[in-house]
Amino acid sequence: MGKHYFLGLAAGRKESSKQLFTHGTKEDCVKLSEFLKKKYGGEVMLTKNGRSALALALKAYFDRGDKIIVNGFTCYAVYEAIKAAGLTPIWADISEGDLNYDAKTLRGLEALYLGHAPGRSPKSTVPNRVPSSPSDIKGIIIQNSLGNPVDIGAVEKFARKHSLIIIEDLAHSVGVKYADGREAGTVGSATILSFGKDKAIDTISGGALILRKAIKNSIKAPSKRPRVSDTLRSRFYPLFGAICRGLSYIHLGGPLMRLLVKIHFVEKSADNKLDLNCRINKFEAKLALRQLKKLNSRGEKPLREFYLVNNREEVLSKLRKAGYFFDGFWYERPVSPERYYKKVNFPEEACPVATEVAKRIVNLPTYYNKKELAKAREIIKEYL
């Protein structure tokens, strides 16, 4: 069971050869763009990764200095994109049930930031929190955490009331349906897709932006060819994962993977740098289209099944003894990974639920069937 340490395609058997030997062409990029245009409607741009797509969307719809509401339980890539666009995040606390902000949270933000009379500054109830002018808050990002759909009715009502632009980030939620039956990605002004490791669509890297409504600022579609080193890492990551997975049975898989990371043959997901000029690899465009066409009922289940446990370190220790290495879960901090957390200056006092959830969450990797994870669930449920 040592194979459970590896994420996404690195954990699969059949995917390694597809990633290594698939040949892509310019036509594959065109086909992917046409598919996305038909599915979501709007102008399509293919990008190096999801954070680059998000940064381009924010540049298109907002001005530097604007503020945008974002899920208080997210990844550093989202924060990086916001800062690259010159915006400031307004963190929204989450519900334990689905890891999204809800109507109650939005009402709290309304009272704190948007519910006062014009020309008057709100009084912050959060220590060391700088109040925002209502005119500064221009948008809201929908994340659908781990594939769990947000309360879209509450978000739309809130956005209409305060003239906020909605950006839908589908890194976790391609194919997911909202409660009213609409598909995620068909509501906001822009739709973002990430094809990174362990995402809903996983080709190791790559992303896409669909501009669904008129933009405020012109942006340029990425056209620069990916670096050779980035292409090789995307090509070989599943193969390296397969090799390390095999060696893990003799306790050599982990050391080899750490060595590959150290010498930059393997890149951690959070380290896939933002680049507004670089396009997707052609072979990844081909692989992404294949996966998109196979979605079908993916929206019926979350990207990752999660549990909130007591004594998480004890749980992880028991899981390791049983052959499950779940230490690489999403997320160990409200804004993960740990090594970037201090850069965010996250207001934990404003998002107490997200802060607590990050201390207790354990979630199950993808690419494994129910039978393989049965023992893991038994261990976890003892600590709920």
On the question of pLDDT at 7 being above 50, the answer is: no
How confident is the model at residue 130, as a pLDDT?
Answer: 43
Tokens of 378: 């038994």
Reading the block at residue 166, the tokens are: 């909605």
Residues 6+ apart with CB under 8 A from 374: none
Q: Which residue has the higher pLDDT, 215 or 253?
A: 215
Residue 127: predicted pLDDT: 38
Is it true that the peptide bond before 337 is cis, omega within 30 degrees of 0?
Answer: yes
Let me know: does 201 contact 193? Beta carbons within 8 Å: yes
Q: What is the pLDDT of residues 55-78, one digit of tens each?
A: 999 999 999 999 999 999 999 999
Mean pLDDT, rounded, of the chain: 87
| Domain membership flag for residue 315 | no
Residue 303 falls within a domain, yes or no? no
Q: What is the residue range of 166's domain?
A: 23-211
Alpha helices in 48-122 (DSSP H): 50-61, 76-84, 103-109
Q: Is residue 306 assigned to a domain?
A: no
Q: At 192, is the pLDDT very low, low, confident or very high (cuts 50, 70, 90)?
A: very high
Q: Is residue 145 part of a domain?
A: yes
pLDDT at position 14: 57
Q: Which residues of 1-14 are buried (b: 16+ CB within 10 A; e: fewer)?
A: bbbbbbbbbbbbee
At 242 the pLDDT is: 78
pLDDT value for 132: 47
User: Do the beta carbons of residue 272 and residue 323 sit within 8 Å?
Assistant: no
Report the number of distinct structural domains present in the chain: 1
pLDDT in tens, 312-371: 999 999 988 887 877 766 788 999 999 999 999 999 999 999 999 999 999 887 766 778
Specify whether the CB–CB gap between 147 and 295 falls below 8 A. no
- Residue-level pLDDT at 324: 81
DSSP for 97-116 reads TTSS--HHHHHHHIIIIISS
With respect to residue 342, please indicate whether it lies within any of the assigned structural domains. no
Helix segments in 15-49, DSSP class H: 15-21, 26-40
pTM assigned to the model:
0.89
> What pLDDT is recorded for position 268?
83
- On whether residue 137 sits in a domain, the answer given is yes
- Compare 352 and 295 and report the one with higher pLDDT: 352
Q: Where are the beta strands (DSSP E) in the chain?
A: 43-47, 67-71, 74-75, 88-92, 137-142, 165-169, 190-194, 207-211, 306-308, 335-336, 361-363
**Average pLDDT score over residue span 39-50:** 97
User: What is the structure's pLDDT at 60?
Assistant: 98
For residue 284, what are the contacts with CB-CB under 8 A and spacing of at least 6? 24, 195, 203, 204, 205, 206, 234
What pLDDT is recorded for position 89? Answer: 96
Dihedral, CA of residue 208, residue 214, residue 215 and residue 216, to nearest 10: -170
* 265 in any annotated domain: no
Q: Which residue has the tokens 């973002």?
A: 192
CATH number reported for the structural domain that contains residue 152 in this entry: 3.40.640.10
The residue with greater pLDDT, 71 or 131, is: 71
Across the chain, which distance is largest between two alpha carbons, in Å?
67
Q: Residue 6 — very low, low, confident or very high, per pLDDT cuts 50/70/90?
A: very low
pLDDT value for 288? 95
Give alpha helix (H) positions in 224-268.
228-247, 253-262
Residue 176 lies in a domain: yes
Q: Is the pLDDT of residue 80 over 90?
A: yes
